[in-house]
Amino acid sequence: MTVKTEYITTETKGNRDLVDLTPKLREIVKKCGLVNGIITAFAPGSTAGITTIEYEPGLTKDISIFLESLLPYAGNYHHHETWHDDNGSSHLQASFIGPSITVPVVDGDLTLGTWQQVVLIDCDTRPRRRRVVVQMLF
């Protein structure tokens, strides 16, 4: 079996900024010669998540608004007592979305739908540099 690991580094604005990872994932699949097998994208850190969504400006706003309404920045979080921090909502939003996704690759392409992209959601309360781990098994 082949195991290959690559990284996608990206700057985010935080506050549920959405980054489309799909073009880079496609590049990596091609470069590494992955024809049939799985690709896992994993976000190290506990304030960012990875999922899929139709990456268009409307939903980009909607998911941000939804996460903020579900777990508001201004809420009371015990996490703030631990670290005198302000990102309790970020942690919970990220745990909720989950840090990783595994996508089957068939005939050299990710099996995504036409209107489906793999996205990183940065839930932290400030801009961050993120280094997503991309691992392929084939």
Question: Is there binding between residue 40 and its own copies (CB under 8 A)?
Answer: yes
Rounded-to-integer distance, Cα 99 and Cα 103, Å: 14
Closer residue to its own copies, CB minimum distance, 27 or 72:
72
Cβ 7 vs Cβ 131: under 8 Å: yes
Phi, psi of 42 (to 5 degrees): -130, 130
Question: Is there binding between residue 32 and its own copies (CB under 8 A)?
Answer: no
Helix axes 57-70, 88-97, angle to 10 degrees: 120
Question: Is there binding between residue 123 and its own copies (CB under 8 A)?
Answer: no
Which residues bind to its own copies, rule: CB under 8 A? 1, 3, 5, 36-38, 40, 42, 44-46, 51-54, 56-59, 61-63, 66, 70-71, 77-83, 88, 91-92, 95-104, 106, 111-113, 115-116, 133-135, 137-138
